[in-house]
Amino acid sequence: MDNEEKMTPESARLEHCPHCGSVETKNFVYFRRGEKIRVYNECARCGRFVSRYTLAGYTSDKTYESLLARIREWRLASGKRTLGIVEAFGDDVQQEYERVRELVDRQEDPRKIEEIISEDFSAPRE
């Protein structure tokens, strides 16, 4: 069978602790100047390392207007640069969030996250 054919166009899954299976996790957000933001994901039940995410962007729960106002308040000069990383919450985010919740509720991908990435999403985009 051609590998392209069994690839799913989208997939969603709760992250499970590989050690105890729990889906309750804590995110430790790490900032280091000049580097992308990294998130260390730790199991809230057994306290062990689950995964690390490197962020291309961060979407907060704030709308564009309130985000802009807050950023201006904090630091006028870096407002534009900050907006390049911090994305505003909008209808597109809400819709995708609902879609992901629905996918997980209806047909959560049973594969491990590494398997999903290697089987369906490892080919270069664009």
Measured in whole angstroms, the distance separating CA 1 from the mean position of its chain's CA atoms is 31
Cα–Cα distances in angstroms (integers) from residue 22 to residues 4, 15, 72, 106, 115, in the given order: 32, 8, 40, 19, 18
- Of the candidate spans 3-11, 14-22, 77-85, 95-103, the one that interacts with Zn ion by CB under 5 A turns out to be 14-22
* Residue placing its CB nearer to Zn ion in the complex, 46 or 85: 46
Task: State which of residues 7, 8, 14, 19 lies at the interface with Zn ion (CB under 5 A).
Answer: 19
- Of the candidate spans 41-49, 67-75, 89-97, 98-106, the one that interacts with Zn ion by CB under 5 A turns out to be 41-49
13 touches 116 (CB < 8 A): yes
* Residue placing its CB nearer to Zn ion in the complex, 48 or 81: 48
Distance CA 24, CA 46 (A): 10
Binding status of residue 69 toward Zn ion by CB under 5 A: no
Least distance (Å) from Zn ion to the CB of residue 13? Answer: 16
* Residue placing its CB nearer to Zn ion in the complex, 22 or 59: 22
Binding status of residue 20 toward Zn ion by CB under 5 A: yes
